[in-house]
Amino acid sequence: MTSKQQLSKGKVVITGASSGIGKALALELSKQGYQLGLVARRMDVLNDVKRDILNHVENAPSIDVAVLDVADDETIYPVLESLSSSMGGLDIVIANAGITAVNRTGTGNFEKDKRVIQVNLIGGMATVDAAAKIFRASGGGHIVGISSVSAWMGIPGSSAYSSSKAGFTNYLKAVRTELRKKGIQVTTIHPGFIATDIAEGMEKKPFVINADKAAKDIVKAIIKKKDSATIPAFPWSAVTKLLTVLPEKWVSKTL
């Protein structure tokens, strides 16, 4: 640690850290004093994110970066293990990497749906599994999975995305019960509509908030070690319950 770095509150790895919620989480966690390991598919973009954080956060703890495509799930554990070694251990792993895709069922673009499932569900599960392996060896840790409110309601035109998040939420719930006795906390985050540079037209959706606001709320939930959190809590906690009982034609008009 250099004389300009503050003592770290903890060591956090974030997947999909080059944009959107992942990038906003990196900035917020650095502001709060966490040492970061940032991973995404492009090293040049990761270096830009690292530079931005160091320019905006005075005395920021150290930041490591590594290339990782979670769609290539066999590479996830080696990358996380390498970061754990270079960072001097890990306290939190945030499985955030994900993609969205609008695809109308039956239009001949099923490869889009397969890609969404591979990245969001298989990649997410593999990240959690890799983190759990590291934390089992170290005696404990905290796994955070970024799901979505669409886990509870199918979004027309994004059926694969909704399915991937529903599967990830159920996976995290099962894993939480399994790993609690090992001293490993598992938190599921369900963001609502978040305006980011990777989600076109999101500003037209209801109850939308920006990524910086979402990151602040997510970090609060992580610090409190909540089992599950909806971001923002109001109005989504109530809205998601309502949407599960509304007629499907009403839901399609709402979303």
Question: Annotated catalytic sites, by residue?
Answer: 161
Which helix (H) or strand (E) element contains residue 40? strand 35-40
Query: By C-alpha distance, which of 73, 79, 63 is closest to 122?
Result: 73
Tell me if residue 49 falls in helix, strand or coil. Answer: helix
Task: Report residue 98: phi and psi, to 5°.
Answer: -170, 165
Q: Are 172 and 188 in contact (CB under 8 A)?
A: yes
Tell me if residue 139 falls in helix, strand or coil. Answer: coil
Structure tokens of 100?
Answer: 């969205």
Q: How far apart, in whole angstroms, are the C-alpha atoms of residue 189 and residue 226?
A: 9
> Computed over its alpha carbons, how large is the radius of gyration of the chain?
18
Assess whether the previous peptide bond of 232 is cis (omega < 30° from 0).
Answer: yes
